[in-house]
Amino acid sequence: MDGKSPGRRLKDLINAPELLMLHAVYDGYSVRLVEKFGYQAAFISGAALSESNLGWPDVGLMGLEENLSACRRLAGCCNLALLADGDTGYGNAVNVYHMVQGFEQAGVAGIMIEDQQWPKRCGHMQGKSVVDAEEMVEKLKAAAAARKDGDFVIKARTDAYATHGIGEAIRRLNLYAEAGADLIFADALATEEDIRTVLKNVSKPLCVNMGFAIRKRSTTALISAKRLQDMGVAVVMYGRMLGASAIQGLKNSLAAFEQSLKEDVVTERPELLVSFEELNELMGLGDVKKLEQQFVRKGKG
């Protein structure tokens, strides 16, 4: 690595002229694949963690320790600058203070905090409500004061667009920027014009959330990465692409396997699977073998 802290690396990517694309990761497979494809950063989706680890939707069922433990493991098996999902901060400003220190110690590059009421919901679900803007400002001030590394990224998300309209969303984003947020995010903006309006009226780099040819999942119009960059968006997150792709792959393999239950045939569908060798290579088995050669004494038997 270049000696920079994870936060510094992420902040440099946010402030670079090029659009930063963050795929939502949630397990060892996804972080290693994203890194292998040449990305330098990723977003640890709280929704994907809840769904993949707990088997339940993103409705506030996952607690701080479950989130923190998962993020620590992911940061430990890759060199990506990871932005974690801190939900609403798991309490008041004092809770946020300790939460930020926990995530920074876990090795991630930054944390996203949102202004929903707890229990929160995925940003594209119905039934959301938000706290007073002043309460969120307190949380962000505590977050900024808590970080040991001044480059640890604080991302502020508002869900006020759905509940109060675009004007209130813009007002909140600017309040949150003043309170210490390095990156701001108004979730579930409906149109390209909404995004352009927010861009014109905020003072910090803007993040948007995009689907990936899964329009039924998202309330936000799909816009190409190139167009977002030309508009001046700093960061785009693809929050559901990897998880939805993984589920489709599992469905395809399970459906193909049903043939072997009905007929006396061996199901062989290499186009549905990576090889055993590729899987081992992806998961770093070669590095483990090198360590064994260096440190483990060979047996006599």
HEC secondary structure over 103-124: HHHHCCCEEEEECECCCCCCCC
**pLDDT tens for residues 245-270?**
999 999 999 988 887 777 777 778 89
Q: Which has the higher per-residue pLDDT, 60 or 116? A: 116
What average pLDDT does range 38-52 have in this prediction? 96
| Range with lowest mean pLDDT among 36-40, 82-86, 254-258 | 254-258
DSSP track, 207-260? EEEE-SS-GGG-SSPP--HHHHHHHT--EEEE-SHHHHHHHHHHHHHHHHHHHH
Q: Given this model, what pLDDT does residue 211 score? A: 78
Q: Given this model, what pLDDT does residue 301 score? A: 47
Q: Given this model, what pLDDT does residue 2 score? A: 80
SS3 84: strand
What average pLDDT does range 126-137 have in this prediction? 88
Orientation of helix 64-76 relative to helix 28-36, angle to 10°: 40
What average pLDDT does range 52-76 have in this prediction? 94
**pLDDT tens for residues 183-236?**
999 998 999 999 999 999 999 999 999 976 554 545 678 999 999 999 999 999
The pLDDT-based confidence of 89 (bands split at 50, 70, 90) is very high
What average pLDDT does range 45-68 have in this prediction? 93
In percent, the amount of the chain with pLDDT more than 90 equals 82
| In the chain, where the domains are located | 6-246
For residues 71 and 103, the answer to whether their CB atoms sit within 8 Å is: yes
Return the CATH superfamily for domain 6-246.
Phosphoenolpyruvate-binding domains (3.20.20.60)
Q: Given this model, what pLDDT does residue 81 score? A: 98
Residue with tokens 């977002």: 228
Half-sphere exposure of 95 (CA within 13 A, CB side): 13
The pLDDT-based confidence of 242 (bands split at 50, 70, 90) is very high
What average pLDDT does range 269-298 have in this prediction? 94
Mean of all residue pLDDT scores within the chain? 92
Q: Given this model, what pLDDT does residue 258 score? A: 82
Q: Is the pLDDT of residue 166 over 90?
A: yes
23, β-bridge pairs: 238
Q: How far apart are CA 234 and CA 42, in angstroms?
A: 14
